[in-house]
């Protein structure tokens, strides 16, 4: 497929594509509201009847899948994905240490920041070997694999009537939770192992690299929403501090 003409309705971005900041910002706001409901129900014991499956599961997925997709997409904009990955992994380690010491809820082991960091590291290594995922067919294949392996952490493979149980022996080793094979005693307050969630990240990588040489529609480049853009540009620090601030606010309000 040939790239659209530079004189056409598409063009390569100069600087940030603000729509991505806005999408990330919207997901951050959604995440804060989700965790507010979570804290009210599971930590403070408040009855919020509607905060239950399936709405709870769909809401959670809409947030995390968007984070993974956009983070993968950003690989095509980053000049140093290796450094980017190490920054995420350092934050993930700090979150694990803080949640272990605070003991308010289960420690966050291999949460979404870990997943983004590890997936970015894998992509950085693949990029150096010229094996990085790219293109829409690759993205479609990764999306199919993501859906097929979505149940792997719960010992299932497949979709709907085609699900099969995976061998219990695969989950016996306590050191494979990061991969998606948690042992029976494993617990985490936020769990996003590489299988399946790095595959959703890979979808973003492949799509982003398809767009990179072609550019984006001018309408996409012109899209603006300043408040959400600001939130999106500060997504990582907001992620780090939002739960302590929510818990402190609930304590001050006497909930």
Over residues 212-231, mean pLDDT? 96
Beta strands in 97-207 (DSSP E): 156-157, 164-165
pLDDT (tens digit per residue) in 26-60: 999 999 999 999 999 999 999 999 999 999 999 99
pLDDT of residue 8: 53
pLDDT confidence band for 104 (50 / 70 / 90): confident
- Would you call 139 exposed, middle or buried from its count of C-beta atoms within 10 A (0-12, 13-18, 19+)? buried
Q: What is the pLDDT of residue 105?
A: 79
Question: How confident is residue 204, by pLDDT bands cut at 50, 70 and 90?
Answer: very high
pTM (two decimals): 0.93
Q: What angle do CA 71, 72, 76 make, to 5 degrees?
A: 105
Domain edges within the chain: 15-253
Residues paired with residue 216 on neighbouring β-strands, in sequence order: 11
**What is the structure's pLDDT at 14?**
86
The helix (H) or strand (E) run that includes residue 238 is helix 235-253
């Amino acid at each position: 497929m040939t790239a659209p003409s530079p004189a056409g309705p598409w063009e390569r971005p100069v600087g940030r594509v603000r729509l991505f900041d806005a999408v990330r910002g919207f997901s951050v706001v959604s995440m804060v509201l989700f965790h507010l409901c979570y804290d009210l129900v599971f930590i403070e014991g408040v009855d919020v009847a509607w905060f239950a499956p399936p709405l709870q599961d769909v809401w959670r997925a809409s947030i995390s899948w968007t984070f993974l997709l956009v983070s993968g997409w950003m690989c095509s904009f980053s000049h140093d994905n290796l450094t980017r990955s190490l920054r995420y992994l350092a934050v993930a380690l700090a979150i694990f240490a803080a949640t272990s010491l605070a003991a308010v809820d289960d420690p966050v082991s291999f949460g979404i920041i870990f997943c983004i960091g590890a997936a970015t590291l894998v992509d950085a290594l693949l990029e150096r070997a010229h094996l990085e995922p790219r293109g829409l067919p690759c993205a479609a294949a990764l999306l199919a694999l993501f859906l097929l392996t979505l149940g792997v952490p719960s010992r299932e493979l497949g979709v709907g009537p085609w699900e099969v149980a995976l061998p219990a022996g695969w989950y016996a080793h306590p050191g494979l939770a990061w991969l998606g094979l948690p042992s029976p005693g494993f617990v985490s307050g936020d769990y996003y192992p590489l299988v399946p969630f790095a595959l959703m990240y890979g979808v973003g990588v492949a799509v982003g690299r398809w767009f990179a040489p072609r550019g984006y529609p001018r309408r996409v480049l012109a899209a603006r929403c300043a408040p959400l853009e600001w939130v999106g540009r500060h997504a990582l620090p907001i992620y780090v501090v939002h739960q302590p601030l929510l818990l402190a606010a609930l304590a001050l309000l006497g909930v």
